[in-house]
């Protein structure tokens, strides 16, 4: 028998979970209907039942080191079936929010970025000031640095590419360091927790685990298991692939602009509307905007999930980036194509707003809801690596057992409701 | 009065179509010499009844109604001044056997013979009259006792309330908060018993003795003579019925050393926690510092074979209450509840939910392994099998043990055994008896001086204890009943209860007491032979002072004189007839139920000679459960062997062994005895019927062996009332078995 665990109940942590969307946490009486109802829960370490009791007792260290909270897609199949209304799905979302803050480096940033009252300051004022500062040092720098001919594109005249890339590269670079530290902290805590529970040797090497995880993410196949809100998978796929497309295009544009000339290929920037990259960008943008709008309307319509400021800020930010991006493009086409030069200042303003929003999205990535990109991926890799996901170790027999169990839970629930 | 037997055969409900009623009538008139025999298409209709009434007017007084089961149309066939004997042709004959069959007809003939035989001998009971005092004595002035007193007084009865302590209120009066007693069952309530206490003390019909104990209770229902000792003085008065509402005491926590009690000053019981709550602040006993981390250990000594095997039902809610109070006193307090199961019945689930919502109250299922001190009298609780999946350690400033309730009752039978053994020891006669008595005295030392009611009953001064030492007599079907007539238990002495249920108990027991008084005034029995006016008659000239009746009576009806002659107390009697079954001299009988009457019935059955190869079986069955079961089987048209003849008995315990001897010598081939379930969870209305029959049938088996008869010829079965499918199977199996053994050689 393992050694007794000294409990240090953290009442503050319980209260934080309750305050950040897990209001019903304390109602749980550990019947485990949730773990049976959950389609992505694994046999070896079923969740969210254990997370519920950990959260009730304020066992923060355990939850922060728990990869399982990241395997949940908050479809709320469990919350729907919970006989006591404890809403485990929402509790896990609240725990994930706490985890993002807990692992973030520097930690104060994680706490600040998620405080609603600092939203205007951090997401609008601060990036605007920083961008304005960048604009003011543009000319002195242009005189010092050998930058060659300025690009003739419309927006480059306002905010030149070298400044844009320099500005974002340095800030996202800092964020990247923060993210790496967060990942290391997270990975280490999972390892420590697993070592304490004698979980045995890793089941799979890290590299194959990463490959498997990426394949899983590309198809969203785990997400497909959630039944209650199956459409959310498509919403997420739209937003995900929209973002990926735009990210790829941005990288390509940078390569095209700075690397291609080195190899003696003329830069094609700005791309023609029919250029494959431009097509990818526009389609990606549309897909992103549609995904975001769908996410917002879905959440509005659905009563089955709690939506916190933590969630909605992210979606609105993403939508804002997409919409201002398109507006920027439309103004450029209007000015360059239709000669509407009177729109120039409006176009610059829109572009500026776009840049401000992009700052919030990318630089705060490791500290905001967007951090799920990192932590979920890491948790999935860890799950593959440690074997907690593997079918071979499932407690339930293979085959039809899951649907039977589910229908059993359904029947029990129907009986309870009747 | 001259008997005029009139037989009526109903032809309704398939009887006419399945039997030769003409032949049956001939049995009545020619063979049994009934003065009148008539049949009717529908005897229970107005015309049928009118026909009987006409005969009654013309002098018929011993009626035999051969129709449906006596459990139906009971009132319809009752006529003033007459006894009606019912012959069950419907359920037990035509509905459970082949119609128009030779064996079915023989069965009907025999049932009619038995009916007439009984009608000839049974008499209408004489009425007895006694002066019945209708005052109700309530022992115990807690919420239960006060409710019983108020309700009895409210119904117009005089009440005497005896309370051991100086003030009324009991435990509830000592608590500051209670869990809610009304919807929405979520928030704490302050206890305020003042209005109730004032209502009791100012009630003209209620006489209250405080600081008082019961010195002695003599007599019988309606005539209990009570002596009360109150603060040095004493009082004597007469009452009719008694409600014992003596409540509970906490389980002795000194036996819970493994949970730290007695070893660590900061481990207290939930009752001691109530004292801290009443003091307004929850400070540690060791140093008086505020207890900010309080661990509650549920089922401390409860649901534990080593301690109390049962669940007291309230400790979960008490703990939730105490945790909520602690949080209310100081919001920095954290309460950890370690439970086996949370049991908050009914609406109290909402009270549990309310506590769960509090972020400072932590719950987990756990099996507590031990409690240790870690320095400065701080505590560490170790638990296994927790919901957290680990063995856990919880640090606490204070540990509260949720101990259960023990009834405030004395074991009357044990006290009697102790006193008897002491008497033997005092006599000092040498022998094995002395050794046994010395051992008993040693074993039962703890019961000395524990008596509460101090009844002068032969079977002991208090109520007999049943399962888990609660003096209840029938916890499922008949709450408040005890094994002493007109003495009812209510509240926590009956079963662990909360105060809401205790108050309900108080009302229920008061009503039961009133009911028993009114019935006693009419000379009638109380539950379960409610309204029975017969009573046992003792022909004492022939008594051999064997004491079987005084010992076997489940209700302590009989006292003894110095020689051991039984002294009946009629109003204590429930008319089960167990004394009649016990008596080897056969000197106890009822007017309508006696050894002779049943023997006559047995002898009236026509036994075919051995060449006909028609065995005859006798079934003596309990009229409370087995008989209705057979009715149900008939209702379901389940067939059984037509060779068996049933005689209902008041209780299997009333079966006198002589009937079995009579039946065997008469030529019956086998005897089936069907009674109720015995044991801790018995279903017998008279507590020990099947058990007593079991002991007696051991003797019977010996007799059978002496007579060179197979002991399988007598079979004892226990049957729940719901087992109507099993009973015909039992009958058929028995019939087959007897056929295998062969016919009775004494035919």
Dihedral of the CA atoms B349, B355, B359, B364 (nearest 10)?
A: -60
> Looking at CA atoms only, how far is residue A278 from chain B in angstroms?
54
In 3D space, the residue among B126, B118, B93, B114 whose CA is nearest the CA of residue B21 turns out to be: B93
Query: Which chain A residue lies closest to B389 (C-alpha atoms)?
Result: A50
Inter-chain CB proximity A57 and B364 less than 8 Å: yes
Q: How confident is the model at residue B500 (pLDDT cuts 50, 70, 90)?
A: very high
Taking the Cβ of residue A14 and every Cβ of chain B, the question of whether any pair is shorter than 8 Å is answered with yes
Give B264 or A197, the one with higher predicted confidence. B264
Nearest CA in chain B to A24: B357
Instruction: Count CA atoms within 13 Å of residue B133 on its CB side.
Output: 19
Closest residue on chain A to B337 (Cα): A57
- The angle that helices A206-219 and A372-386 make with each other, rounded to 10 degrees, is 130
Interface test mutation site (partner A, options B351, B387, B395, B396, max chain A beta carbons within 10 A): B387
The A residues from 121 to 140 touching B (CB cutoff 8 Å) are none
Could you report the per-residue pLDDT of B657-694, keeping only the tens digit for each?
999 999 998 999 999 999 998 887 788 888 888 899 98
Cα gap A316→B155, rounded to integer Å: 73
From A12's Cα to the closest Cα of chain B, the distance in A is 9
Read off the tokens for A356.
Answer: 């401000």
Question: Which residues in chain B are contacts of A26 at CB distance < 8 A?
Answer: 356-359
Facing B391 at nearest CB: one of A4, A27, A29? A4
Chain B hits for A9, CB-CB cut-off 8 Å, are 334, 336, 362
Q: A6 and chain B: CB distance < 8 Å anywhere?
A: yes
Residue of chain A whose Cα is closest to the Cα of B342: A29
Q: Please write the tens of the pLDDT for every residue from B177-226.
A: 999 999 999 999 999 999 999 999 999 999 999 999 999 999 999 999 99
Nearest to B510 by CA among B129, B140, B236, B202: B140
What would the two tokens of residue B652 be?
Answer: 């299997």
Cβ distance A2 to B391 less than 8 Å, yes or no, reads yes
Question: What is the C-alpha to C-alpha distance for residues B352 and B360, in angstroms, rounded to an integer?
Answer: 14
CB-nearest partner of A5 from B342, B362, B390: B390
Residue numbers in A near B364 (CB within 8 A): 53, 57
Cβ distance of B334 and A11 shorter than 8 Å: yes
A-chain residues near B389 (CB < 8 A) = 50
- CB-nearest to B388 from A11, A14, A57 is A57
A57: distance to nearest CA of chain B, Å?
Answer: 6
Q: Does the CB of A11 have a partner CB in chain B at under 8 Å?
A: yes
Which residue in chain B is spatially nearest to A51 when comparing CA positions? B388
If one counts every other C-beta atom within 10 angstroms of the C-beta of residue B717, the result is: 20
| Yes or no, beta carbons of B359 and A29 under 8 Å apart | no
Q: CA angle, corner B689, sides to B687 and B692, nearest 5?
A: 115
- Nearest CB neighbour to A27, from listed B342, B353, B365: B353
In the DSSP assignment, the letter for residue B554 is T
Q: Can you give the pLDDT at residue A405?
A: 44
Instruction: Spell out the SS3 assignment of chain A.
Output: CCCCEEECCCHHHHHHHHHCCCCCHHHCCCCCHHHHHCCCCCCCCCCCHHHHHHHHCCCHHHHHCCHHHHCCCCCCHHHHHCCCCCCHHHHHHHHHHHHHHHHCCCHHHHHHHCCHHHHHHHHHHHHHHHHHHHHHCHHHHHHHCCCCCCCCCHHHHHCCHHHHHHHHHHHHHHHHHHHHHHHHHHHHHHHHHHHHCCCCCCCCCHHHHHHHHHHHHHHCCCHHHCCCCCHHHHHHHHHHHHHHHHHHHHHHHHHHHHHCCCCCCCCCCCCCCCCHHHHHHHHHHHHHHHHHHHHHHHHHHCCCCCCCHHHHHHHHHHHHHHHHHHHHHHHHHHHHHHCCHHHHHHHHHHHHHHHHHHHHHHHCHHHCHHHHHHHHHHHHHHHHHHCCCCHHHCCCCCCCHHHHHHHHHHHHHHHHHC
Confidence of residue B432 (pLDDT cuts 50, 70, 90): confident
Give the B-side interface with A, CB within 8 Å.
334, 336, 342, 353, 356-360, 362-365, 382, 384, 387-395
Low-confidence residues in chain A, pLDDT < 50:
1, 391-407
Closest CA of chain A from B282, distance in Å: 20
* CB proximity A395 to B under 8 Å: no
Instruction: Say if the Cβ atoms of A26 and B359 lie within 8 Å.
Output: yes
The rounded distance, in Å, linking the Cα atoms of A14 and B666 is 83
Spatial contact of A61 and B395, defined as CB atoms under 8 Å apart: no
pLDDT above 90 coverage of chain B, percent: 83
If you average pLDDT over residues B376-380, what whole number do you get? 93
Environment class of B536 (CB within 10 Å of its CB; exposed 0-12, middle 13-18, buried 19+)? buried
CB B567 within 8 A of CB B559: yes
Residues of A in contact with B359 (CB under 8 A): 11, 14-15, 18, 26
Q: Mean pLDDT over residues B330-338, rounded?
A: 95
Picking from B366, B374, B390, B393 by the largest number of A CB atoms within 10 A of its own CB, the best residue to mutate is: B390
CB proximity A56 to B under 8 Å: yes
Q: Looking at chain B, which residue has its C-alpha nearest residue A31?
A: B387
Measured between beta carbons, which residues in chain B are less than 8 angstroms from residue A45? none
Provide CB contacts within 8 A for B22, sequence distance 6+: none
Q: B-chain residues within 8 Å CB-CB of A56?
A: 362-363
Q: Which residue of A has its CA nearest to B352?
A: A27
pLDDT digits (tens, 9 = 90+) for B615-641: 999 999 999 999 999 999 999 999 999
List, for residues B276-299, the tens digit of each pLDDT value. Answer: 999 999 999 999 999 999 999 999
Closest residue of B to A17, CA-based? B359
Res B540 pLDDT > 50: yes
B295 and B305 in contact (C-beta within 8 Å)? no
Contact A56 B362 (CB under 8 A): yes
Q: How many CB pairs under 8 A join A and B?
A: 59
CB contact under 8 A, A9 and B334: yes
ipTM comes to: 0.79
Q: Which residues of A touch B353 (CB under 8 A)?
A: 27, 84
Handedness of CA A23, A25, A26, A32 (dihedral sign): positive
Measured CA to CA, the distance from residue A48 to residue A40 in angstroms comes to 10
Percent above pLDDT 70 for chain B: 99
Residue B76 confidence (pLDDT):
94
The secondary structure of residue B99, as a DSSP letter, is: T
Instruction: Determine whether the interchain pair B388/A5 forms a contact, defined as Cβ–Cβ distance below 8 Å.
Output: yes
A51 neighbourhood in chain B, CB within 8 Å: none
Q: pLDDT (tens digit, 9 = 90+) per residue, B91-123?
A: 999 999 999 999 999 999 999 999 999 999 999
List the single residue in B353, B362, B365 with the smallest CB-CB distance to A9: B362
Q: What does the domain layout of chain A look like in residue ranges?
A: 11-104+393-417, 112-386
User: CA A186 → CA A203, A368, A390, B25, B182, distances in Å?
Assistant: 19, 16, 21, 98, 50
Nearest residue to B635 via CA among B125, B17, B69, B78 = B69
- The residue of A1, A9, A15, A62 whose CB has the most chain B CBs within 10 angstroms, and thus the best one to mutate to test that interface, is A9
Is A59 near chain B, with CB under 8 Å? yes
Among A11, A50, A59, beta carbon nearest to B360: A11
Identify all chain B residues contacting A15, using CB atoms and an 8 Å cutoff: 359
List chain A residues with CB under 8 Å of B384: 1
Residue B363 to residue B297: CA distance in whole angstroms: 11
At residue A393, the pLDDT reads 38
CA gap B467, B475 in Å, rounded: 10
pLDDT of residue B718: 93
d(CA B620, CA A390): 68
Residue B458: band (very low, low, confident or very high) from pLDDT cuts 50, 70, 90: very high
Report helix, strand or coil for B621.
strand
Between the alpha carbon of residue A107 and those of residues A14, A60, A345, B53, the distances in Å are 19, 16, 39, 101
Q: Write down the pTM of the prediction.
A: 0.84
Chain B: closest CA distance from residue A394 (Å): 18
- Distance CA(A277)–CA(A255), nearest Å, equals 12
**Could you please report the per-residue DSSP string of B561-593?**
-TT--EE--GGG-----HHHHH-TT--EEBTTB
Chain B residues whose beta carbon lies within 8 Å of the beta carbon of residue A82: none
CA-based nearest distance A290→chain B, Å: 40
Residue B140 near residue B146, CB atoms below 8 Å: no
Among chain B residues, the shortest Cα distance to A84 is held by B353
Asked if A326 reaches chain B (Cβ–Cβ under 8 Å), the answer is: no
């Amino acid at each position: 028998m393992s050694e007794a665990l000294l409990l240090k109940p953290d009442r503050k942590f319980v209260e934080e979970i309750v305050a950040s969307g897990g209001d019903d946490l304390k109602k749980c009486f550990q019947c485990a209907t949730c773990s049976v109802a959950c389609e992505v829960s694994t046999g070896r370490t079923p969740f969210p039942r254990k997370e519920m009791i950990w959260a009730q007792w304020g066992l923060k260290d355990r939850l922060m080191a728990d990869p399982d909270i990241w395997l949940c897609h908050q479809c709320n199949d469990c919350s729907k079936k919970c006989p006591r209304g404890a809403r485990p799905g929402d509790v896990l979302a609240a725990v994930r929010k706490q985890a993002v803050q807990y692992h973030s480096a520097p930690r104060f940033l994680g706490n600040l970025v998620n405080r609603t009252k600092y939203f205007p300051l951090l997401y609008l004022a601060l990036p605007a000031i920083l961008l304005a500062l960048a604009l003011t040092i543009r000319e002195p720098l242009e005189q010092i640095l050998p930058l060659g001919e300025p690009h003739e594109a419309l927006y480059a005249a306002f905010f030149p590419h070298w400044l844009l890339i320099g500005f974002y590269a340095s800030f996202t670079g800092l964020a990247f360091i923060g993210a790496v530290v967060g990942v290391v902290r997270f990975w280490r805590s999972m390892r420590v927790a697993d070592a304490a529970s004698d979980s045995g040797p890793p089941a799979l090497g890290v590299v194959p685990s990463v490959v498997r995880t990426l394949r899983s993410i590309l198809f969203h196949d785990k997400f497909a298991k959630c039944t209650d809100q199956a459409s959310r998978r498509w919403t997420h796929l739209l937003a995900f692939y929209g973002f990926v497309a735009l990210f790829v295009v941005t990288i390509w544009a940078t390569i095209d602009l700075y690397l291609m000339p080195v190899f003696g290929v003329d830069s094609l920037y700005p791309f023609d509307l029919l250029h494959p990259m431009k097509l990818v960008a526009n389609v990606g943008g549309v897909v992103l905007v549609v995904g975001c709008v769908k996410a917002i309307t879905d959440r509005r319509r659905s009563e089955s999930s709690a939506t916190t400021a933590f969630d909605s800020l992210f979606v609105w930010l993403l939508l804002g980036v997409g919409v201002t991006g398109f507006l920027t493009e439309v103004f450029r086409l209007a000015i360059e194509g239709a000669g509407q030069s009177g729109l120039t200042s409006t176009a610059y303003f829109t572009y500026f707003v776009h840049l401000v929003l992009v700052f919030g999205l990318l630089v705060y990535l490791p500290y905001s809801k967007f951090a799920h990109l990192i932590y979920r991926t890491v948790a999935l890799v860890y799950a593959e690596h440690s074997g907690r996901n593997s079918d071979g170790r499932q407690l339930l027999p293979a085959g039809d057992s899951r649907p039977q169990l589910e229908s059993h839970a359904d029947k029990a629930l129907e009986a309870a409701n009747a | 009065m001259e008997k005029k037997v009139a037989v009526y055969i109903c032809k309704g409900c398939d009887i006419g179509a399945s039997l030769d009623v003409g032949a049956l009538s001939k049995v009545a008139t020619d063979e049994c010499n009934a003065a009148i025999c008539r049949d009717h298409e529908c005897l229970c209709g107005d015309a049928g009844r009118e026909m009987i009434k006409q005969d009654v007017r013309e002098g018929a007084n011993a009626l035999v109604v051969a129709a449906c089961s006596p459990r139906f149309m009971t009132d319809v066939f009752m006529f003033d001044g007459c006894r009606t004997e019912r012959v069950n042709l419907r359920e037990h004959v035509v509905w459970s056997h082949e119609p128009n069959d030779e064996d079915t007809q023989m069965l009907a003939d025999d049932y009619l013979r038995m009916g007439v035989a009984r009608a000839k001998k049974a008499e209408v009971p004489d009425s007895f009259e006694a002066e019945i005092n209708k005052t109700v004595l309530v022992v115990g002035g807690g919420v239960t006792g006060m409710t019983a007193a108020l309700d009895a007084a409210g119904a117009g009865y005089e009440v005497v309330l005896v309370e051991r302590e100086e003030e009324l209120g009991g435990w509830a009066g000592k608590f500051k908060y209670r869990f809610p007693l009304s919807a929405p069952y979520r928030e704490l309530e302050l206890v305020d018993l003042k209005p109730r206490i004032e209502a009791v003390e100012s009630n003209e019909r209620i006489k209250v003795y405080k600081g008082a104990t019961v010195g002695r209770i003599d007599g019988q229902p309606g005539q209990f003579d009570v002596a009360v000792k109150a603060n040095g003085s004493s009082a004597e008065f007469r009452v009719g019925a008694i409600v014992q509402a003596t409540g509970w005491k906490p389980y002795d926590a000194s036996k819970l050393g493994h949970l730290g009690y007695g070893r660590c000053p900061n481990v207290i019981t939930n009752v001691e926690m109530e004292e801290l709550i009443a003091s307004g602040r929850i400070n540690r006993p060791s140093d008086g510092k505020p207890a900010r981390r309080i661990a509650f250990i549920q089922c401390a000594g409860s649901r534990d074979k080593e301690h109390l095997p049962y669940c007291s039902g309230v400790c979960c809610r008490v703990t939730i209450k105490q945790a909520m109070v602690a949080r209310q006193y100081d919001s920095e307090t954290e309460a950890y509840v370690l439970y086996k199961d949370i049991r908050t019945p009914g609406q109290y689930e909402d009270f549990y939910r309310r506590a769960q919502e509090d972020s400072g109250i932590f719950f987990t299922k756990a099996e507590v392994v031990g409690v240790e001190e870690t320095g400065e009298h701080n505590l560490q609780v170790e638990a296994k099998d927790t919901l957290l999946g680990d063995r856990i350690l919880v640090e606490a400033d204070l540990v509260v043990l949720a101990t259960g309730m023990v009834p405030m009752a004395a074991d009357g039978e044990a006290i009697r055994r102790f006193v008897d053994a002491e008497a033997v020891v005092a006599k000092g006669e040498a022998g094995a008896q002395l050794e046994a008595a010395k051992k008993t005295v040693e074993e039962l030392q703890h019961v000395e001086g524990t008596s509460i009611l101090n009844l002068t009953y032969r079977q002991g001064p208090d109520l007999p204890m049943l399962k888990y030492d609660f003096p209840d007599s029938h916890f499922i079907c008949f709450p408040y009943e005890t094994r002493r007539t007109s003495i009812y238990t209510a509240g926590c002495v009956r079963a662990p209860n909360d105060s809401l249920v205790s108050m309900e108990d108080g009302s229920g027991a008061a009503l039961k007491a009133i009911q028993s008084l009114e019935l006693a005034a009419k000379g009638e029995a109380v539950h379960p032979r409610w309204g029975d006016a017969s009573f046992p008659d003792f022909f004492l000239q022939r008594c051999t002072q064997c004491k079987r009746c005084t010992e076997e009576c489940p209700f302590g009806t009989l006292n003894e004189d110095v020689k051991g002659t039984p002294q009946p107390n009629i109003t204590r009697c429930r008319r089960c007839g167990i004394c009649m079954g016990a008596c080897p001299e056969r000197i106890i009988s009822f007017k309508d139920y006696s050894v002779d009457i049943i023997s006559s019935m047995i002898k009236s059955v026509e036994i075919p000679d051995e060449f006909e190869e028609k065995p005859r079986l006798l079934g003596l069955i309990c009229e409370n459960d087995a008989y209705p079961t057979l009715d149900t089987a008939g209702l379901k048209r389940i067939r059984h062997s037509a060779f068996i003849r049933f005689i209902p008995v008041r209780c299997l315990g009333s079966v006198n062994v002589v009937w079995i001897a009579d039946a065997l010598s008469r030529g019956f081939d086998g005897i089936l005895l069907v009674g109720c379930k015995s044991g801790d969870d018995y279903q017998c209305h008279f507590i020990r019927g099947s058990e007593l029959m079991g002991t007696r049938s051991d003797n019977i088996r010996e007799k059978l062996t002496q007579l060179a008869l197979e002991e399988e010829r007598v079979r004892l079965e226990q049957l729940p009332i719901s087992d109507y499918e099993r009973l015909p199977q039992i009958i058929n199996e028995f019939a087959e078995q007897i056929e295998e053994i062969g016919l009775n050689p004494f035919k």
